[in-house]
């Protein structure tokens, strides 16, 4: 774990908790949502943090082809709860939820209430919790993710889908771009922003628009009442809506679904 970072003329000097010192021409901050590198080097902060808690469970009887989602301000204010089967037999799963920091109660409170929820309990009847999980999800990708001799990637750069909290796809995509730019910098022996700015330009081209749209959709979602959510769920039973979702739905680019829904239906009215 990095405990100190010092900027020198053409490199960074870092020190770890084990009192080891390193010099590096390129410092890549992939140190998570509470990035020490982001903080010390005065990069912008993510716009929002979600608080999450979950568990791995066994002895379930789930359909492995379906994920169950639960929404509502009494269940997971500002986000949602989930049940995700993790094996082909539906006997293991992950359950959990996230809430915004502005939620009235702690995320642990909402998780305990979820386990007692009458709509949730049938899915976890007779199950056994084998592992508890907790964490933080950063939302609102940084406006700048590079500087001389440094690049930020993954959760440290808030490269996370705001609509689902998923960071695997965007994180890996941006990490690949980051590695290519780092290799180019090494080949040119140029570690200044003149080269490293290509990282920002390329990841923004690939996924920047999607992440920014996701934050706008999230802002709208947070304003939706439970009553309105219930109406949207009713509309999801419409065969026309299901057809649109099947045709345009994309887990990594969810914004592709919005225009067809607006164009072909009165879904958001």
> In the chain, helix, strand, coil percent, each to 5?
40, 25, 40
210: helix, strand or coil: helix
Beta bridge partners of 151: 28, 146
Tokens coding 206: 């690939």
- Is the distance from CB of 194 to CB of 203 less than 8 angstroms? no
pLDDT for 105-129, tens place per residue?
999 999 999 999 999 999 999 999 9
Angle between helices 193-203 and 168-188 (to 10 degrees): 150
113: helix, strand or coil: helix
Q: Would you say residue 264 has pLDDT above 70?
A: no
2 vs 194, residue with greater confidence: 194
What sign for the dihedral angle of Cα 112, 115, 117, 119? positive
Tokens coding 41: 């080097």
- Helix count and strand count (H, E) for the chain: 9, 11
49 vs 238, residue with greater confidence: 49
**pTM metric for this prediction:** 0.88
Pairing of strands 128-139, 150-152: unpaired
- The per-residue pLDDT for 9 is 87
- The per-residue pLDDT for 268 is 57
Beta bridge partners of 78: none
- The per-residue pLDDT for 242 is 79
pLDDT for 21-42, tens place per residue?
999 999 999 999 999 999 999 9
- The per-residue pLDDT for 266 is 61
Beta bridge partners of 134: 53
Q: Which residue ranges form the domains of the chain, and what is each CATH number? A: 2-47+140-221 (3.50.50.60), 48-139 (3.30.9.10), 226-264 (no CATH)
């Amino acid at each position: 774990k990095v405990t100190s970072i010092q900027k020198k003329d053409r490199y960074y000097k870092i020190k770890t908790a084990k009192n080891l010192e390193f010099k590096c021409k390129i410092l890549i901050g992939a140190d998570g949502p509470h990035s020490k590198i982001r903080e010390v080097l005065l990069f912008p902060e993510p716009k929002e943090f979600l608080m999450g808690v979950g568990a791995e469970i066994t002895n379930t009887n789930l359909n492995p082809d379906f994920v169950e989602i639960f929404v509502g301000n009494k269940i997971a204010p500002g986000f949602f709860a989930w049940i995700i089967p993790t094996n082909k037999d539906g006997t293991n799963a992950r359950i959990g939820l996230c809430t915004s920091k502005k939620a009235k109660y702690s995320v642990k409170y909402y998780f305990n209430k979820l386990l007692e929820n009458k709509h949730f309990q049938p899915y976890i009847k007779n199950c056994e919790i084998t592992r508890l999980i907790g964490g933080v999800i950063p939302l609102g990708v940084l406006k700048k993710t590079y500087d001389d001799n440094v690049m930020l990637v993954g959760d440290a750069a808030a490269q996370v889908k705001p609509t689902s909290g998923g960071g695997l796809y965007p994180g890996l995509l941006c990490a690949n771009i980051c590695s290519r730019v780092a290799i180019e910098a090494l080949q040119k022996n140029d570690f200044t922003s003149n080269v490293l700015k290509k990282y920002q330009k390329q990841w923004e081209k690939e996924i920047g628009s999607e992440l920014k749209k996701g934050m706008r959709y999230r802002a709208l979602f947070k304003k939706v009442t439970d009553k309105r959510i219930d109406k949207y769920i009713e509309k999801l039973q419409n065969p026309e809506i299901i057809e649109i979702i099947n045709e345009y739905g994309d887990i990594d680019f969810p914004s592709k679904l919005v225009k067809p829904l607006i164009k072909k239906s009165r879904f958001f009215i």
